[in-house]
């Protein structure tokens, strides 16, 4: 048995198929996981369209466009990393992974800056702190905003942790023994997280401007 | 000890699950005992109403998420799936071990909520009660259940990939054992429904912990949105609980009828049909919650549709028995108990799916009785049947057949005595989840409590004689029942990598007409 | 109305309970017959085909028989299920649809942990006990001040969840005088079990006498609503004799309203409540002026019941065109 294959698989192709299937199934459940948030979004938008009209423009669509571009480029570097993992180009792989991490971290930094900005302006999700009366209000809209982008940001953060461990493994492993399967699986995950953002971006930042 | 806690052998992980789940089952059962004692009299005199509310909540949370959902998949499924596929292990052995640790962590969190003072929202966590009004430890408990959900997803992923990628040479989809089909259907639900629950529980924690208005109408949220999410998971979850039981019964009945299953394709397809339709019926929990008439009619119709594949299963099991050679062993008695009680439970489900009838019966003891008939009468019977059937394979020992049969009949009678009165309590109009009740319901409540003592005895017995069999039981041999599955082609218990020679599958899994005769035959005397 | 231990159903006391009971008995008979059939078949098979020397192995199934019987079984169950579904849906339609003979008696119901309070049209309030006349349609307008409750009268075979933030309606017509139990059916906390009330059904003339005797502690609902309407100065836009700026309220209740987005809704309790709290949600089609400001936070749940009661009282008033 080659040393890159684990029980219970017979060969590395067999293992790669299984890992890919497992990752796709995992992403399937992630779709449902985020699906709840998008239904929550739809419900609030149908019941309280006025909130989106009133508070939607408070979101900074220019910054969000830069963030979208950042994530799109990171998807490209991730795709390169997967390619280099298969060709066992170790040095290029390390660079591509590092670039992906840097772009992901830049995204998170912009997100944090944005959060701080909103908190400074009192645009928080909290019902009590904001001093809102009963009923829907800015806390409803910003509650939605923080919950949706927060869970997405957590997924980006998780992706960064996994990317870092991939990078470390690649750093320690000689090129001849590099395993492409984990990079491939993480790549699928990273693209998925980017796609979620591609839905969040128009839904939150652009919706108020289009209606 | 250490080798157990770091094992990646699916058989050992299955036994870890068995041990943990049995502890939770005992705890949930003890709580049920206190509940039944309290309900023996009309006033809330044994415990206060506050305590009672915490007890029924904890009973539900523990039994649903820490026993019923993992019971057959995580224990029997974990143990048997690789064996039935002719594989050395599941696809991701370390993920499998991780799922057990996550499960235990979830259990510890939920138990700590219990020790800290409990939770009183009901296992359904309805908002705005759970998010705004309850003063119990909701956040701790929902995070515990969230972890149990994560563990479910891990198990489901593992089963799906294993079934696709690890089948033995020659084992086509149409040569899969019916138990594998049911596990596969279950795994689809585990993977696609559980994340909805997971996110919902996180949202409850966020709303309660940070005071964000998601489900509380007072601050712009919608409690009905919560119910849609909750039942989008929790109705399929009922099929997570019952489908594996159907799979077990589909193994037991052919074996003890010494006959091929009648309509193999129909049974396999019905498992998938139930999994798919199960996603489309959640609204039948909300007929009186105020959803539109049109929505209620559609959900009612789909609820009847999901009953058709369930009916196919019952018909096929009876067809298998007809003209078979029926051997009434302990596992077979459980299987027949399952078929009978599942028919009653499914039938009463049809009554609840009828819109006009549901208006009267919704949220009454009728629903409690219906649910327990499917879960306790159905699922638990299948679980015990499976446990007795594969016990010789798992332990290598035979248990006392005489005591096994006594316990099985006792459970059947105890079950009927406990829950048939509750059906009538419901039609008479007694709402569920009440610590006290008007005097007029006293007689049936007492009858139910009396039946529960028989039921409790029925649960204690297998615990005793199964443990005794470990020291005193006769060696079982590889194949005491003369069964045809791949799991019987290896030793009892199987070695670490299951098969000395990887098996090759050339025939369908139920070749009973040419099966070896049972070696446990002497039991019958 | 104490049920005996083995009565299947409590005594029926509303005009819809007879039909529901018929359906219950029908579906229970089918469940009973099928369950009994399955049990008998299992016992018969277990005895007749028992494993014994000379009969150690079951017979092979014929594939043709299998296909035919399985498909037949599917067909039969589908037909039976379809029948049950239709009966259930039709019965439900009857429960939901308010009969249009005679003026209904409108009762406001407010649920809060853990009691029920009621308001009669003349302003009479009651706690944990509701007097209604027999033979007349009683229309309930239900709201909750805290968590979800459920209005359940077993004798009427009636149940309706009471959801905070929503205004629901339900109706019944009691057939016989007597006292019937009302229970909360949705778990609502510590004293959920004791959140009960009595529905006292009286002959119509006795009800009128009871109503006359009662020490009414407030003005009639519609009048109270009218007063609130004036205090909030709603008339500035909605009153017909002024230069009307907003859609008229006369004859509005219960009628379809065409909305700006092309859809149409029935002006029921929930619509009116929504339009007061969130006027920009459903704007009337031909209305051109500014949208009314929201009254969320300015009127309580009980006050909303009053405003709706007032608008309801205008259902048959003539609108004066500007």
Q: How far apart are CA C94 and CA B411, in angstroms?
A: 42
Query: Which chains reach chain C with 3 or more Cβ–Cβ distances below 8 angstroms?
Result: A, B
Q: pLDDT digits over C57-94, tens only?
A: 998 889 999 999 999 999 999 999 999 999 999 999 99
Residue C118 · residue C143 · CB < 8 Å: no
Identify which of B133, B297, B443 has the shortest CB distance to residue C89: B297
Q: Does A128 touch chain B (CB under 8 A)?
A: yes
Mean pLDDT over C219-228 rounds to: 81
Q: pLDDT digits over B375-412, tens only?
A: 999 999 999 999 999 999 999 999 999 999 999 999 99
Contact A22 B91 (CB under 8 A): yes
Q: pLDDT digits over C226-264, tens only?
A: 888 888 878 777 876 555 567 778 878 888 888 877 788
Instruction: Please name which of C162, C149, C143 lies closest in space to residue C114, comparing C-alpha atoms.
Output: C149
Helices (H) and strands (E) in chain A, counts: 7, 0
Query: Which chains reach chain B with 3 or more Cβ–Cβ distances below 8 angstroms?
Result: A, C
Whether B174 has a pLDDT exceeding 50, the answer reads yes
Identify which of C278, C280, C297 has the shortest CB distance to residue A133: C297
pLDDT of the residue at A130: 45
For residue B164, the chain A residue with the least C-alpha distance is A18
More confident residue, C265 or A108: A108
Helices (H) and strands (E) in chain C, counts: 7, 12
Contact C296 A136 (CB under 8 A): yes
pLDDT mean across residues, chain A:
89
ipTM for the whole complex: 0.92
Q: Does C226 touch chain B (CB under 8 A)?
A: no
Contact C159 B347 (CB under 8 A): no
Contact A36 B200 (CB under 8 A): yes
Which residues from C are below 8 Å from A49, CB to CB?
A: 280-281
Q: Does A45 touch chain C (CB under 8 A)?
A: no
User: Measured between CA atoms, how close is A93 to chain B, in angstroms?
Assistant: 26
pLDDT of the residue at A129: 46
% of chain C surpassing 70 pLDDT = 93
Which residues from A are below 8 Å from B228, CB to CB?
A: 39
Which residue shows structure tokens 């870890």? Answer: B16
Q: pLDDT digits over B293-310, tens only?
A: 999 999 999 999 999 999
Residue B116 · residue B54 · CB < 8 Å: no
Mean pLDDT over B33-60 rounds to: 93
Which residues from A are below 8 Å from B214, CB to CB?
A: 40, 143, 147
pLDDT of the residue at C318: 58
Mean pLDDT over C159-181 rounds to: 93
Q: How far apart are CA B401 and CA B407, in angstroms?
A: 10
Which residues from B are below 8 Å from A51, CB to CB?
A: 220
Q: How many CB pairs under 8 A join B and C?
A: 277
**What kind and span of H or E run contains C139?**
strand C137-144
CA distances from A86 to A166, A178, A185, C166 (A): 14, 9, 12, 58
Mean pLDDT over A4-22 rounds to: 82
Whether C201 has a pLDDT exceeding 90, the answer reads yes
% of chain C surpassing 90 pLDDT = 49
Mean pLDDT over B90-114 rounds to: 95
Got the DSSP string for B295-353? HHHHHHHHHHHHHHHHHHHHHHHHHHHTTS-B---HHHHHHHHHHHHHHHHHHHHHHHH
For residue B163, the chain A residue with the least C-alpha distance is A18
Which residues from A are below 8 Å from C297, CB to CB?
A: 133-135
pLDDT of the residue at C322: 32
pLDDT of the residue at A132: 47
Got the DSSP string for A141-182? HHHHHHHHHHHHHHHHHHHHHHHHHHHHHHHHS-GGG--HHH
Q: How far apart are CA C144 and CA C165, in angstroms?
A: 7
Q: SS3 for B383? A: helix
| pTM for this entry | 0.91
Contact B293 C96 (CB under 8 A): yes
More confident residue, B367 or A127: B367
pLDDT of the residue at C253: 83
Residue C312 · residue C249 · CB < 8 Å: no
Residue B423 · residue B112 · CB < 8 Å: no
Q: How far apart are CA C172 and CA C158, in angstroms?
A: 8
Q: Among A2-11, A181-190, B138-147, C285-294, which is the least confidently predicted range?
A: A2-11
Q: SS3 for A211? A: coil
Q: Which domains does chain B have, with CATH numbers?
A: 12-495 (1.20.210.10)
Alpha helices in B362-441 (DSSP H): 365-372, 381-395, 401-427
Q: Which domains does chain A have, with CATH numbers?
A: 12-210 (1.20.120.80)
Which residues from A are below 8 Å from C281, CB to CB?
A: 47-50
Show the tokens assigned to B211. 């005071």
Which residues have a Cβ under 8 Å from the Cβ of B492 and sit 6 or more positions away?
A: B392, B393, B394, B395, B396, B476, B477, B478
β-strand C168-173 against C256-258: which pairing, if any? unpaired
pLDDT of the residue at C242: 56
Identify which of B90, B161, B222 has the shortest CB distance to residue A43: B222
pLDDT of the residue at C280: 72
Whether C102 has a pLDDT exceeding 90, the answer reads no
Which residues from C are below 8 Å from A50, CB to CB?
A: 278, 280-281
Confidence of residue A46 (pLDDT cuts 50, 70, 90): confident
Q: pLDDT digits over B413-439, tens only?
A: 999 999 999 999 999 999 999 999 999
Which residues from A are below 8 Å from C299, CB to CB?
A: none
Whether A131 has a pLDDT exceeding 80, the answer reads no
Identify which of C280, C281, C296 has the shortest CB distance to residue A135: C296
Q: How many CB pairs under 8 A join A and B?
A: 119
Q: pLDDT digits over B104-141, tens only?
A: 999 999 999 999 999 999 999 998 899 888 888 999 99
Angle at B377 between CA B411 and CA B259, to 5 degrees: 90
Q: Mark which residues 118-177 of C lie under 8 Å from B by CB.
A: 146-148, 150, 152, 154-155, 157-161, 163-166, 168
Whether A128 has a pLDDT exceeding 80, the answer reads no
Q: Does A8 touch chain C (CB under 8 A)?
A: no
Q: Mark which residues 253-312 of C lie under 8 Å from B by CB.
A: none
Contact B128 C147 (CB under 8 A): yes
Q: How far apart are CA C209 and CA C203, in angstroms?
A: 10
Mean pLDDT over C185-196 rounds to: 93
User: CB count, 10 Å around CB of A172?
Assistant: 7
For residue A26, the chain B residue with the least C-alpha distance is B157
Mean pLDDT over B357-373 rounds to: 96
More confident residue, C1 or B343: B343
Whether C101 has a pLDDT exceeding 90, the answer reads no
User: Phi first, then psi: what are they for B502, rounded to 5°?
Assistant: -55, 130
% of chain A surpassing 70 pLDDT = 92
Show the tokens assigned to C184. 């909360």
Residue B390 · residue B75 · CB < 8 Å: no
Contact A126 B211 (CB under 8 A): yes
Query: Which chains reach chain A with 3 or more Cβ–Cβ distances below 8 angstroms?
Result: B, C
pLDDT mean across residues, chain B:
93
β-partners of residue C131 are C200
pLDDT of the residue at C1: 46
Q: Among A68-77, A139-148, B253-262, C209-218, which is the least confidently predicted range?
A: C209-218
User: Phi first, then psi: what are they for B12, rounded to 5°?
Assistant: -70, -40
Whether B509 has a pLDDT exceeding 60, the answer reads yes
Confidence of residue B228 (pLDDT cuts 50, 70, 90): very high
């Amino acid at each position: 048995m080659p040393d890159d294959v684990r029980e219970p698989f017979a060969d590395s192709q067999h293992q790669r198929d299984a890992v890919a299937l497992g990752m796709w199934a995992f992403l399937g459940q992630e779709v449902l996981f985020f699906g709840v948030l998008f239904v929550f979004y739809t419900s609030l938008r149908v019941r309280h369209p006025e909130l989106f009209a009133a508070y939607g423009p408070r979101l900074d669509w220019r910054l969000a466009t830069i963030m979208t571009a950042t994530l799109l480029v990171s998807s490209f570097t991730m795709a390169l990393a997967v390619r280099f993992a298969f060709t066992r180009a170790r040095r290029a792989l390390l660079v591509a992974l590092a670039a992906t991490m840097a772009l992901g971290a830049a995204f998170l930094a912009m997100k944090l800056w944005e959060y701080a900005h909103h908190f400074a302006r009192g645009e928080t999700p909290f019902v009590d702190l904001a001093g809102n009366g009963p009923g829907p209000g800015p806390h409803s809209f910003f509650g939605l905003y923080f919950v949706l982008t927060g869970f997405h940001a957590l997924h980006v953060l998780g992706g960064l942790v996994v990317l870092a461990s991939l990078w470390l493994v690649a750093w320690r492993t000689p090129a001849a023994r590099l395993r492409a399967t984990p990079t491939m699986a993480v790549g699928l995950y990273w693209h998925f997280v980017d796609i979620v953002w591609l839905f969040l971006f128009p839904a939150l930042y652009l919706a108020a401007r289009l209606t | 000890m250490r080798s157990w806690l770091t094992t990646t052998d699916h058989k050992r992980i299955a036994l870890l699950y068995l041990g943990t789940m049995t502890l939770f089952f005992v705890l949930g059962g003890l709580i049920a005992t206190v509940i039944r004692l309290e309900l023996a009299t009309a006033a809330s005199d044994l415990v206060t109403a506050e305590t009672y509310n915490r007890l029924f909540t904890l009973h539900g949370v523990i039994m649903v998420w820490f026993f019923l959902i993992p019971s057959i998949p995580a224990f029997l499924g974990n143990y048997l799936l690789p064996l039935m596929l002719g594989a050395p292990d599941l696809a991701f052995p370390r993920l499998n071990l991780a799922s057990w640790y996550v499960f235990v962590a979830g259990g510890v969190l939920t138990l700590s909520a219990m020790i800290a003072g409990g939770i009183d929202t009901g296992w359904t966590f309805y908002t705005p009660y759970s998010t705004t009004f309850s003063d119990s430890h909701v956040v701790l408990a929902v995070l515990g259940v969230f972890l149990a959900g994560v563990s479910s997803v891990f198990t489901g992923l593992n089963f799906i990939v294993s079934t696709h990628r690890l089948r033995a040479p020659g084992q086509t989809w149409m040569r899969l054992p019916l138990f594998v089909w049911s596990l596969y259907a279950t795994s689809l639900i585990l993977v696609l429904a559980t994340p909805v629950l997971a996110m919902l529980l996180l949202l409850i924690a966020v709303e309660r912990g940070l005071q964000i208005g998601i489900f509380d109408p007072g601050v712009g949220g919608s409690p009905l949105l919560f119910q849609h999410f909750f039942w989008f998971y929790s109705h399929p979850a009922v099929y997570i609980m019952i489908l594996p039981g159907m799979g077990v019964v589909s193994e037991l009945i052919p074996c003890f009828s010494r006959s091929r299953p009648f309509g193999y394709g129909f049974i396999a397809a019905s498992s998938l049909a139930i999994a798919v339709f199960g996603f489309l019926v959640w609204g039948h929990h909300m007929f009186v919650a105020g959803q539109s008439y049109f929505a209620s009619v559609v959900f009612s119709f789909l609820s009847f549709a999901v009953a058709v594949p369930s009916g196919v299963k019952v018909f096929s099991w009876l067809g298998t028995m007809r003209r078979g050679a029926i051997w009434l062993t302990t596992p077979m008695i459980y299987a027949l108990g399952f078929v009978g009680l599942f028919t009653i439970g499914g039938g009463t489900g049809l009554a609840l799916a009828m819109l006009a009838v549901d208006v009267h019966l919704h949220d009454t003891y009728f629903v409690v009785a219906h649910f327990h008939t499917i879960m306790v009468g159905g699922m638990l019977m299948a679980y015990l049947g499976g446990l007795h059937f594969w016990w010789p394979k798992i332990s290598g020992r035979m248990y006392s057949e005489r005591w096994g049969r006594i316990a099985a009949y006792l459970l059947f009678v105890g079950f009927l005595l406990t829950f048939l009165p509750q059906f009538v309590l419901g039609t008479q109009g007694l709402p569920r989840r009440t610590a006290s009740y008007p005097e007029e319901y006293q007689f049936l409540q007492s009858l139910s409590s009396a039946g529960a003592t028989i039921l409790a005895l029925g649960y204690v017995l297998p615990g005793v004689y199964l443990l005794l069999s470990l020291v005193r039981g006769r060696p079982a041999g590889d194949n005491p029942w003369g069964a045809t599955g791949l799991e019987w082609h290896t030793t009892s218990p199987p070695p670490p990598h299951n098969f000395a020679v990887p098996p090759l599958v050339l025939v369908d899994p139920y070749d009973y007409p040419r099966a070896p005769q049972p070696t446990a035959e002497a039991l019958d005397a | 109305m104490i049920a005996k231990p083995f009565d299947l159903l409590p005594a029926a006391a509303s005009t819809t309970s007879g039909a529901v009971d018929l359906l219950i008995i029908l579906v229970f008979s089918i469940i009973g017959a099928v369950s009994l059939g399955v049990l008998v078949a299992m016992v018969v098979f277990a005895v007749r085909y028992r494993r014994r020397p000379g009969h150690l192995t079951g017979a092979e199934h014929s594939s043709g028989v299998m296909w035919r019987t399985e498909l037949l079984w599917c067909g039969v169950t589908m037909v039976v299920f379809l029948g049950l579904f239709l009966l259930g849906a039709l019965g439900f339609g009857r429960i939901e649809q308010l009969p249009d003979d005679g003026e209904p008696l409108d009762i406001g119901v407010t649920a809060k942990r853990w009691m029920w309070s009621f308001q009669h049209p003349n302003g009479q309030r009651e706690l944990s006990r509701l007097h209604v006349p027999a033979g007349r349609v009683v229309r309930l307008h239900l709201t909750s001040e805290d968590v979800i409750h459920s209005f359940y009268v077993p004798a009427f075979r009636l149940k309706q969840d009471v959801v905070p933030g929503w205004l629901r309606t339900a109706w019944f017509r009691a057939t016989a005088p007597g006292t019937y139990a009302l229970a909360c059916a949705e778990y609502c906390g510590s004293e959920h079990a004791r959140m009960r009330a009595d529905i006292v059904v009286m002959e119509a003339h006795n009800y009128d006498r009871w109503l006359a005797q009662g020490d009414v502690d407030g003005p009639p609902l519609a009048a109270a609503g009218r007063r609130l309407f004036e205090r909030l100065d709603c008339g500035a836009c909605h009153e017909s004799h002024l230069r009307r700026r907003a859609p008229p309220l006369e004859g509005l209740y219960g009628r379809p309203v065409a909305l700006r987005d092309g859809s149409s809704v029935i002006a029921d309790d929930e619509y009116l409540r929504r339009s007061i709290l969130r006027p920009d949600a459903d704007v009337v089609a031909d209305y051109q002026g500014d949208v009314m400001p929201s009254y969320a936070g300015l009127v309580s749940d009980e006050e909303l019941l009053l405003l709706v009661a007032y608008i309801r009282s205008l259902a048959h008033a003539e609108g004066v065109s500007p």
